[in-house]
Structure 1
Amino acid sequence: MALALLVGSGVAAAAPDPGSTPSPDPNAAPSSRPAAGPEKERQAGHRPESGKNPQAGPSFKQKDGVWQVDSTETVLRNTVTDKDNDKANLTFEVYTTDADGKPKTQVKLNDSEYGVLVSDYVPSGERAQVTVPVGKLKPGVTYTFHTSAYDGGLYETEWSPWANFRIRDRAVDIKLPEPDKDAPTLNQDTYQERQLIRQPSAFPVPPSEPPIGYSASDGWSCGRLNEKTGIQPCSRLVPDDSKKTRDALRNGARGTKAELPHLVDWCEGLGSSYIKRFEACIAGFKYEYHGIVIKDGRPTGETLYAAWAVGQEVKLSGTSPTFKQQLTLVPLEIDKDFGSVTLNVEFDCLLSDRCSSGQQSWDGALVWTSANPWSHTAVGTTDHTWNAADKADTLDLSTKITAYAPVTNPAASRWITDDAQVRCDKIFSTTKPGCTFHKYIPTWTFHTKKFPVAAAHAWLIQAKLPNHPGSETHKKPMFYLPKATSNVHGRNPQKNRDVICPKVSGNAWAKAKGHPETTLLTDISSGDVRSCDEFAYAATYNSGGMPKSMDGLNEVASGDACLQTYSKRAKQGEWHLYDDDREAAPTFKEVCGRSTMSNWMNTQSMQSFPSEFSQKYRLLDKDPYWVDTPGFEHCDATKATVKCTVPRP
Structure 2
Amino acid sequence: MGPRAGHRPDSGDDLKAGPQFKQRGGVWSVVTPKVALQNTVTDADGDDANLTFQVWKTDSSGDPTEQVNVNDESDYGVLVSEMVPSGSTAKVKVAYDKLEPGVGYAFRTSAYDESGLYETDWSEWARFRIDPYVTFPAPQTSSSIDPTKQEPRQVVRSDPGTVLGARQAKRQTCSEADAKGRTLCMSLTRPSAKDRRALTASRAAADADLVPWCADQPLGKDYMNRTDACLGSAGKANIIFLSSDKDDPPLGVADFYIEQRIKAYPNKASGGGSKATFRQQLIATPLHIDSALRGVNLYWKPTVECNSCSTTQPQWSTATGGTDDGHWSPGESGNNAAQISDITTTWTGTGKETIDLEWKINATVDVGDAMTVTGDYGSSGKESRRELAPRCDDIQGKVPGCVLQGFAPVYKVDTNKYPAAGAFYWLMQQNMPGRPGSGDEPMHYLGKDTKVRDSNGDPWDNNDSRQKVCGSFKKYPTDIGDVDCDEFAMASTHESGGFPGGPNQVSSGDECAQLFAGKMGTGSNFGLLAETRKATDGPSWQEPCGRAAIPSEQNRRAFNKLPAPRWRMLDNDAFFLTMPGYEHCEAGTPCSWRKA
Deviation at 1:544, TM superposition (A): 3.6
- With over 3 angstroms needed to count, the CA separation of the structure-2 counterparts of 1:478 and 1:560, relative to structure 1, is same
**C-alpha contact 1:73 1:131 (8 A) present in aligned 2:** yes
Deviation at 1:434, TM superposition (A): 1.5
Equivalence for 1:174: 134
Number of residue-to-residue matches in the alignment: 548
Rounded Cα–Cα distance in structure 2 between residues aligned with 1:451 and 1:538: 18
- With over 3 angstroms needed to count, the CA separation of the structure-2 counterparts of 1:450 and 1:339, relative to structure 1, is same
Equivalence for 1:197: 156
Deviation at 1:495, TM superposition (A): 4.2
Give the SS at the match of 2:208. Answer: coil
Give the SS at the match of 2:372. Answer: strand
Deviation at 1:299, TM superposition (A): 4.7
Deviation at 1:247, TM superposition (A): 3.3
Rounded Cα–Cα distance in structure 2 between residues aligned with 1:168 and 1:467: 32
Equivalence for 1:416: 378
**C-alpha contact 1:518 1:596 (8 A) present in aligned 2:** no
Rounded Cα–Cα distance in structure 2 between residues aligned with 1:530 and 1:131: 25
- With over 3 angstroms needed to count, the CA separation of the structure-2 counterparts of 1:69 and 1:367, relative to structure 1, is closer
Which runs of structure 2 are paired with 1:3-402 in the superposition (5 Å)? Answer: 52=9, 72-74=34-36, 94-96=54-56, 105-111=66-72, 114=75, 116=77, 131-137=93-99, 141-145=105-109, 169-170=129-130, 172-183=132-143, 186=146, 188-189=148-149, 191-198=150-157, 201-202=160-161, 218-228=170-180, 230-240=181-191, 242-245=193-196, 247-248=198-199, 250-251=201-202, 259-268=206-215, 270-271=218-219, 272-284=221-233, 285-295=235-245, 298-319=246-267, 320-351=275-306, 353-363=307-317, 364-370=324-330, 376-402=337-363
**C-alpha contact 1:279 1:313 (8 A) present in aligned 2:** yes
Rounded Cα–Cα distance in structure 1 between residues aligned with 2:343 and 2:128: 67
**C-alpha contact 1:325 1:381 (8 A) present in aligned 2:** yes
- With over 3 angstroms needed to count, the CA separation of the structure-2 counterparts of 1:481 and 1:246, relative to structure 1, is farther
- Deviation digits for residues 402-448 of structure 1, max 9, x if unmatched? 43433241112232343552332325354322111111121000111
Equivalence for 2:392: 425
Give the SS at the match of 1:286. Answer: strand
- With over 3 angstroms needed to count, the CA separation of the structure-2 counterparts of 1:593 and 1:283, relative to structure 1, is same
Deviation at 1:47, TM superposition (A): 8.6
Deviation at 1:311, TM superposition (A): 2.1
- Deviation digits for residues 4-58 of structure 1, max 9, x if unmatched? xxxxxxxxxxxxxxxxxxxxxxxxxxxxxxxxxxxxxxxxx88999x95789999
**C-alpha contact 1:92 1:117 (8 A) present in aligned 2:** yes
In the superposition, the TM-score normalised over structure 1's length comes to 0.70
- AA aligned to 1:604 is R
Which runs of structure 2 are paired with 1:570-589 in the superposition (5 Å)? Answer: 570=521, 573-580=524-531, 583-584=536-537, 586-589=539-542
**C-alpha contact 1:250 1:268 (8 A) present in aligned 2:** no
Rounded Cα–Cα distance in structure 1 between residues aligned with 2:202 and 2:465: 54
- AA aligned to 1:175 is T
Query: 216-225 or 272-281: which moved more?
Result: 216-225
Equivalence for 1:454: 421
- AA aligned to 1:194 is R
Rounded Cα–Cα distance in structure 1 between residues aligned with 2:297 and 2:523: 73
**C-alpha contact 2:429 2:438 (8 A) present in aligned 1:** yes
- Picking from 431, 435, 445, the partner of 2:402 is 435
- Deviation digits for residues 63-87 of structure 1, max 9, x if unmatched? 9xx99997634478999xxxxxxxx
Give the SS at the match of 2:351. Answer: coil
- AA aligned to 2:553 is W
- With over 3 angstroms needed to count, the CA separation of the structure-2 counterparts of 1:431 and 1:539, relative to structure 1, is same
Deviation at 1:145, TM superposition (A): 4.6
- With over 3 angstroms needed to count, the CA separation of the structure-2 counterparts of 1:342 and 1:199, relative to structure 1, is farther
Segments of structure 2 that go 5 or more residues without pairing to the other structure are: 42-49, 268-274, 318-323, 382-386
Rounded Cα–Cα distance in structure 1 between residues aligned with 2:343 and 2:257: 19
- With over 3 angstroms needed to count, the CA separation of the structure-2 counterparts of 1:499 and 1:76, relative to structure 1, is farther
- With over 3 angstroms needed to count, the CA separation of the structure-2 counterparts of 1:183 and 1:259, relative to structure 1, is closer
- Picking from 557, 581, 584, the partner of 1:631 is 581
Give the SS at the match of 2:422. Answer: helix
**C-alpha contact 2:295 2:328 (8 A) present in aligned 1:** yes
- Picking from 497, 502, 506, the partner of 2:471 is 502
Segments of structure 1 that go 5 or more residues without pairing to the other structure are: 1-44, 80-89, 205-215, 521-528
Rounded Cα–Cα distance in structure 2 between residues aligned with 1:166 and 1:592: 34
Query: 553-562 or 312-321: which moved more?
Result: 553-562
- With over 3 angstroms needed to count, the CA separation of the structure-2 counterparts of 1:415 and 1:93, relative to structure 1, is closer
Rounded Cα–Cα distance in structure 1 between residues aligned with 2:425 and 2:19: 33
Deviation at 1:584, TM superposition (A): 2.4
Query: 531-540 or 413-422: which moved more?
Result: 413-422
**C-alpha contact 2:355 2:391 (8 A) present in aligned 1:** yes
- AA aligned to 1:360 is P
- AA aligned to 1:141 is Y
Query: 597-606 or 360-369: which moved more?
Result: 360-369
- With over 3 angstroms needed to count, the CA separation of the structure-2 counterparts of 1:67 and 1:478, relative to structure 1, is closer
- AA aligned to 2:478 is E
Rounded Cα–Cα distance in structure 2 between residues aligned with 1:592 and 1:399: 48
- AA aligned to 1:266 is W
Equivalence for 2:552: 599
**C-alpha contact 1:465 1:589 (8 A) present in aligned 2:** yes
Equivalence for 1:84: none
- AA aligned to 1:263 is L
Rounded Cα–Cα distance in structure 2 between residues aligned with 1:67 and 1:182: 37
Which structure has the greater CA radius of gyration?
1
- AA aligned to 1:226 is D
Rounded Cα–Cα distance in structure 2 between residues aligned with 1:539 and 1:350: 32
Deviation at 1:454, TM superposition (A): 1.4
Asked if 1:533 is matched to 2:486, the reply is yes
Asked if 1:542 is matched to 2:483, the reply is no
**C-alpha contact 2:446 2:572 (8 A) present in aligned 1:** yes
Rounded Cα–Cα distance in structure 2 between residues aligned with 1:135 and 1:557: 28
Deviation at 1:373, TM superposition (A): 6.0
- With over 3 angstroms needed to count, the CA separation of the structure-2 counterparts of 1:165 and 1:499, relative to structure 1, is farther
**C-alpha contact 1:427 1:486 (8 A) present in aligned 2:** no
Rounded Cα–Cα distance in structure 2 between residues aligned with 1:103 and 1:195: 57
- With over 3 angstroms needed to count, the CA separation of the structure-2 counterparts of 1:217 and 1:626, relative to structure 1, is same
- With over 3 angstroms needed to count, the CA separation of the structure-2 counterparts of 1:345 and 1:571, relative to structure 1, is same
- With over 3 angstroms needed to count, the CA separation of the structure-2 counterparts of 1:452 and 1:198, relative to structure 1, is same
- AA aligned to 1:459 is W
Rounded Cα–Cα distance in structure 1 between residues aligned with 2:388 and 2:333: 34
Rounded Cα–Cα distance in structure 2 between residues aligned with 1:398 and 1:641: 51
**C-alpha contact 1:479 1:623 (8 A) present in aligned 2:** yes
- AA aligned to 2:378 is I
Rounded Cα–Cα distance in structure 2 between residues aligned with 1:289 and 1:62: 72
**C-alpha contact 1:69 1:166 (8 A) present in aligned 2:** no
Rounded Cα–Cα distance in structure 2 between residues aligned with 1:250 and 1:324: 24
Deviation at 1:307, TM superposition (A): 1.8
CA RMSD of aligned residues (A): 4.8
- With over 3 angstroms needed to count, the CA separation of the structure-2 counterparts of 1:641 and 1:311, relative to structure 1, is closer
- Deviation digits for residues 354-388 of structure 1, max 9, x if unmatched? 22211433223322223656673222222111222
